[in-house]
């Protein structure tokens, strides 16, 4: 990655995440200044890694990891320093027994640093110390015991606080979300059994098959029709599998994000996969432990046991060992390829990190600690190829949290916790859906000054102002993402009328097409990653098929045929053609400004004047196009007119340096010296620069100072001394700066 790309990426990330990261760091290191230093160092390390060529797919997560390591290192160093001071005090006080005790205590603290969920081993079932804790304290009576846990304590586990002596530090889930350490979780209860009963089955089926052709819908319906012949349990699994398959296909397939499905048993996991494979729209794999004769009451029937055994034998034939079976499937799931959905029962619900994992389909009764651990599988940060994970999604087919219209602790799944410990754990998806109208209105607010709301040409002209255009892009991006969440949820129809939804869909299509048009019109560099696959899929499925990709050909103003091709385009207004050529011309001017400032600045002013004349209706669309084409052609030819002095005629370098000096050098009479003399001075300065130009001169301060000193000498000895040119020090310094900048642009190396 070159310097410009690395700088832009890090600067954008800095603007977006700096405060969050500082807030995260200051919670651990206390001192605000130190926290800022650690965060700034993390960004510098990110910049250095990018410039060195390191491929970093998730820069935000990468910077967060660097910061966490730095914070942990600082804490450990501080603890070690405090421990060392204690050692020095005791060693100098000649208390041998205390010294030995302190060393034992220190070893105990080290061992405890590796202890996770310490309340599970240190506290007895009914309070007090566990047997393990009693033995530890009898062996190490003077130790300082610290307990760590990664999840909130149940009410029955609160006695842990007496075991360890009170709470030292609490870092709640909502704080982690605010700090940007994890993404927030959106919850949706989805009871398929109710949806497919009675007269609503056709509507449910139409919803899950949106985006399919008539032939594909007929095939899907034929496969689903078998549900009536199944047992109640079989019906439930088949219905959920169809719903999951089509939900993932519509909302997430092809986006790079993945999902986990939690099945109630091993046999159910195998049945889920069989149905997903039968439908054939998403790829899946299963991770389970080996079959056991004591699987539990839910799988005591012979058919289920045989089903699991057959599956396991097939996996062992393919992967040879259980370790290899786990390793290969997990690695594939963490990567960009198949499987898209990982089916689990109890494995990989705790301590499993796969940042792509975004959706958790819950088809199993989970409670308290197990439920908290499971939903945390989809709250990890993830960013790649311009896509950033904003939320994790919990799709609950078991009604664990109902409609999420009460405090979390009101539900049996979380009744064992205190309300304050669960604040911010999950959010009702309807909170986001209710924002859809607000984002829709904010988009339209931009275009209030546009009189004819049906004239797209007026919309495009209104977006000629870059600041307004960028505001439009930001608001459309927010509307896009909220629309994605809304259309992926069945709760949408419970909040908005169908007529309102249809109107917002039509506007969504219109604004998406408008964005494409103005990006072509104003020749913006379009990153295809902007068109997020999930947004593209929803537009295709719910509104109308959009182009698979947008290729914006930048007009090459140096090619007369390319200019003529734009002029001859049909179905496009003259103003649109002119804006397109003007934008390409402006880009050329910006890119080459440093190589010849006076030439390109002059044409930049002429171009701005032409655009301004059209915007205020001083000239017609046709004249606007004609004038812009003329300016573009002159820039391509480097047409400076007839006033190029003879000494630099045909010399591009000479003309560029002459442009810097022209009009800036005056004689003792106060009149500018003639152009031929100025041109000769420009050539003399070029000779000085070339004389002092060495390899890597622009990274060598000594060499640059030698060059500047030589130009200074020429100014003082020749221009002021021999030629009697009036050259005050202020003007001299300004000219020297401009000449050095021009030399850097025209003579790199």
In order, the DSSP letters of 164-189 are: HTS------HHHHHHTTSS--EEEEE
Helix residue ranges per DSSP H, 551-616: 560-567, 574-592, 597-615
Distance CA 229, CA 474 (A): 51
Q: Is the pLDDT of residue 91 over 70?
A: no
Q: What is the DSSP letter of 359?
A: E
Residues 528 and 577 in one domain: no
Q: Is residue 719 part of a domain?
A: yes
Provide the pLDDT for residue 400. 82
Q: Is the pLDDT of residue 546 over 50?
A: no
Distances (CA, A) of 445 to 278, 437, 512: 48, 12, 16
Burial class of 254 by CB neighbour count within 10 A (0 to 12, 13 to 18, 19+): exposed
193 alpha carbon, distance to own chain's centre: 37
Provide the pLDDT for residue 547. 38
Residues 234 and 289 in one domain: yes
**Overall average pLDDT of the 556-572 stretch:** 82
Q: Is the pLDDT of residue 550 over 80?
A: no
Provide the pLDDT for residue 434. 92
- DSSP characters for 360-390? EEE-S---HHHHHHHHGGG-S--EETTEE--
Instruction: For the chain, give the percent of residues with pLDDT over 70.
Output: 79
Three-state secondary structure of 269-289: HHHHHHHHHHHCCCCEEEECC
Distance CA 223, CA 269 (A): 19
Distance CA 487, CA 502 (A): 11
Provide the pLDDT for residue 143. 78
Q: Is 197 helix (H, G, I), strand (E, B) or coil?
A: coil
**Overall average pLDDT of the 115-122 stretch:** 61
Neighbours of 626 (CB within 10 A): 16
Helix (H) or strand (E) run with residue 243 in it: helix 232-251
Residues 404 and 440 in one domain: no
Residue 184 CB partners (closer than 8 Å, separation 6+) = 177, 379, 391, 392, 424, 427
Contact 288, 389 (CB under 8 A): no
Q: Is residue 370 part of a domain?
A: yes
Provide the pLDDT for residue 200. 53
Distance CA 689, CA 701 (A): 15
Number of separate domains in the chain: 5
Positive or negative, the CA dihedral 8, 13, 15, 18 is negative
The torsion region of residue 666 among left (phi > 0), alpha (psi -120 to 50) and beta comes to beta
Q: Is residue 339 part of a domain?
A: yes
Lowest mean pLDDT among 248-252, 345-349, 614-618, 742-746: 614-618
Instruction: For the chain, give the percent of residues with pLDDT over 90.
Output: 25
Distance CA 122, CA 145 (A): 10
Higher pLDDT, 524 or 496: 496
Provide the pLDDT for residue 672. 87
Q: What angle do CA 585, 623, 591 make, to 5 degrees?
A: 5
Residue 700: which domain range? 646-746
Tell me the pLDDT of the chain averaged across its residues.
80
Residue 649 CB partners (closer than 8 Å, separation 6+) = none
Residue 152 CB partners (closer than 8 Å, separation 6+) = 173, 372, 417, 418, 421, 422
Instruction: Report which of 200, 191, 208 is spatially closest to residue 248, judged by C-alpha positions.
Output: 208
Residues 98 and 188 in one domain: no
Q: Is residue 35 part of a domain?
A: yes
Higher pLDDT, 597 or 113: 597
Lowest mean pLDDT among 207-211, 387-391, 682-686: 207-211
Q: Is residue 549 part of a domain?
A: no
Distance CA 517, CA 425 (A): 41
Residues 105 and 203 in one domain: no
Cα of first residue to Cα of last residue in the chain, in angstroms, is: 19
Q: What angle do CA 510, 515, 519 make, to 5 degrees?
A: 150
Q: In 3-state terms, the chain is what percent helix, strand and coil (to 5)?
A: 65, 5, 30
Burial class of 711 by CB neighbour count within 10 A (0 to 12, 13 to 18, 19+): buried
Q: What CATH number has the domain bearing residue 324?
A: 3.40.50.300
Distance CA 505, CA 31 (A): 49
**Overall average pLDDT of the 53-68 stretch:** 82
Q: Is residue 550 part of a domain?
A: no
Highest mean pLDDT among 285-289, 364-368, 712-716: 285-289
Neighbours of 408 (CB within 10 A): 19
Residues 365 and 479 in one domain: no
Provide the pLDDT for residue 447. 94
Provide the pLDDT for residue 286. 96
Q: Is residue 551 part of a domain?
A: no
Instruction: Report which of 284, 352, 291 is spatially closest to residue 316, judged by C-alpha positions.
Output: 291
Provide the pLDDT for residue 525. 57
Q: For the chain, state the CA radius of gyration.
A: 35
Provide the pLDDT for residue 311. 95
Provide the pLDDT for residue 273. 95
Q: What is the DSSP letter of 74?
A: H
**Overall average pLDDT of the 562-591 stretch:** 85
Chosen domain end from 174, 195, 219: 174
User: Is residue 531 very low, low, confident or very high in pLDDT (cuts 50, 70, 90)?
Assistant: very low
User: Is residue 111 very low, low, confident or very high in pLDDT (cuts 50, 70, 90)?
Assistant: very low
Q: Is the pLDDT of residue 80 over 80?
A: no
Contact 193, 171 (CB under 8 A): no
Distance CA 352, CA 377 (A): 7
Residues 315 and 463 in one domain: no
Torsion angle (degrees, nearest 10) of CA 83, 84, 85, 89: 100
Provide the pLDDT for residue 511. 92
Residues 239 and 355 in one domain: yes
Chosen domain end from 491, 510, 543: 543
Provide the pLDDT for residue 658. 92
Q: Is the pLDDT of residue 647 over 70?
A: yes
User: Which pLDDT tens digit goes with each residue over 419-459?
Assistant: 766 777 888 888 999 999 999 999 999 999 998 888 888 89
The torsion region of residue 196 among left (phi > 0), alpha (psi -120 to 50) and beta comes to alpha
Residues 291 and 397 in one domain: yes
**Overall average pLDDT of the 720-733 stretch:** 87
Residues 166 and 203 in one domain: no
Chosen domain end from 138, 155, 174: 174
Provide the pLDDT for residue 405. 55
Higher pLDDT, 180 or 476: 476
Q: Is the pLDDT of residue 684 over 90?
A: yes
Tell me the two tokens of residue 361. 């389909």
Provide the pLDDT for residue 545. 38
Q: Is residue 524 part of a domain?
A: yes
Residues 347 and 386 in one domain: yes
Residues 233 and 311 in one domain: yes
């Amino acid at each position: 990655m070159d310097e410009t790309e690395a700088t832009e990426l890090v600067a954008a990330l800095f603007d977006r995440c700096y405060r969050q990261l500082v807030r995260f760091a200051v919670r651990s290191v206390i001192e605000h200044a130190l926290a800022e230093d650690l965060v700034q160092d993390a960004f510098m390390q990110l910049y250095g890694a990018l410039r060195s060529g390191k491929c970093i797919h998730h820069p935000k997560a990468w910077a967060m990891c660097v910061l966490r390591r730095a914070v942990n290192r600082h804490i450990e160093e501080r603890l070690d320093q405090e421990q060392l001071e204690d050692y020095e005090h005791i060693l100098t006080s000649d208390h041998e027994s205390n010294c030995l005790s302190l060393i034992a205590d220190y070893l105990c603290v080290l061992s405890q640093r590796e202890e996770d969920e310490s309340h599970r081993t240190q506290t007895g079932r009914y309070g007090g110390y566990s047997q393990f804790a009693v033995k530890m304290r009898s062996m190490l009576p003077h130790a300082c015991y610290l307990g760590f846990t990664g999840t909130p304590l149940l009410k029955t586990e609160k006695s842990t606080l007496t075991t360890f002596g009170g709470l030292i530090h609490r870092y709640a889930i909502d704080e982690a979300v605010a700090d940007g350490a994890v993404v927030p979780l959106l919850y949706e209860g989805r009871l398929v059994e109710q949806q497919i009963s009675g007269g609503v089955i056709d509507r449910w089926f139409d919803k899950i098959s949106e985006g399919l052709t008539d032939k594909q819908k007929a095939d899907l319906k034929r496969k689903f029709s078998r549900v009536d012949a199944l047992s109640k349990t079989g019906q439930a699994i088949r219905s959920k599998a169809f719903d999951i398959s089509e939900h993932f296909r519509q909302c997430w397939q092809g986006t790079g994000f993945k999902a986990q499905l939690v099945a109630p048993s091993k046999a159910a996991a195998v049945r889920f996969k069989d149905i997903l494979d039968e439908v054939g729209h998403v790829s899946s794999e299963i991770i389970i432990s080996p079959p056991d004769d004591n699987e539990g009451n839910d799988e005591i029937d012979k058919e289920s046991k045989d089903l699991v055994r057959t599956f396991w034998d097939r996996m062992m034939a393919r992967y040879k060992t259980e370790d290899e079976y786990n390793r290969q499937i997990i690695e594939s799931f963490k990567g960009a390829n198949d499987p898209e959905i990982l089916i689990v029962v109890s494995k990989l619900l705790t301590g499993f990190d796969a940042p792509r994992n975004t959706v958790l389909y819950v088809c199993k009764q989970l409670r308290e600690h197990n439920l908290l651990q499971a939903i945390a599988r989809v709250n990890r940060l993830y960013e790649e190829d311009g896509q950033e994970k904003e939320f994790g999604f919990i799709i609950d087919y078991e009604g664990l949290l109902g409609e999420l219209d009460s405090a979390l602790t009101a539900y049996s799944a979380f009744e064992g916790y205190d309300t304050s410990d669960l604040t911010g754990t999950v959010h009702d998806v309807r909170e986001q859906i209710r924002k859809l109208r607000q984002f829709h209105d904010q988009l339209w607010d931009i275009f209030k000054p546009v009189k004819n709301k049906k004239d797209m040409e007026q919309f495009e002209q209104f977006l000629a102002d870059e600041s307004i255009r960028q505001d439009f892009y930001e608001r459309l991006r927010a509307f896009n993402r909220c629309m994605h969440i809304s259309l992926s949820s069945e709760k949408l129809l419970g909040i908005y009328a169908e007529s309102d939804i249809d109107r917002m869909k039509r506007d969504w299509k219109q604004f998406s097409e408008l964005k494409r048009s103005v990006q072509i019109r104003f020749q913006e560099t379009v990153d295809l990653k902007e068109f997020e696959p999930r947004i593209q899929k929803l537009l295709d499925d719910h509104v109308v098929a959009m182009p698979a990709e947008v290729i914006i050909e930048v007009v090459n103003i140096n090619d007369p045929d390319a200019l003529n091709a734009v002029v001859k385009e049909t179905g496009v207004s003259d103003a649109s053609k002119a804006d397109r050529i003007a934008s390409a011309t402006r880009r050329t001017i910006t890119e080459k400004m440093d190589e010849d400032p006076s030439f390109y600045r002059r044409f930049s002013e002429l171009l701005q004047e032409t655009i301004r004349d059209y915007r205020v209706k001083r000239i017609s669309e046709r004249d606007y196009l004609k004038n812009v084409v003329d300016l573009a052609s002159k820039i391509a030819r480097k047409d400076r007119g007839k006033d190029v002095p003879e000494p630099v005629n045909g010399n591009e370098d000479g003309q560029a340096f002459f442009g810097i000096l022209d009009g800036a050098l005056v004689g003792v009479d106060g009149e500018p010296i003639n152009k031929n003399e100025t041109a000769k001075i420009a050539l003399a300065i070029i000779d000085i620069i070339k004389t002092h130009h060495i390899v890597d001169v622009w990274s060598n301060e000594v060499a640059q100072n030698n060059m500047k000193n030589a130009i200074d000498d020429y100014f003082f000895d020749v221009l002021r001394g021999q030629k009697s040119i009036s050259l005050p020090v202020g003007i001299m310094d300004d000219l020297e700066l401009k000449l050095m900048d021009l030399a850097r642009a025209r003579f790199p190396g």
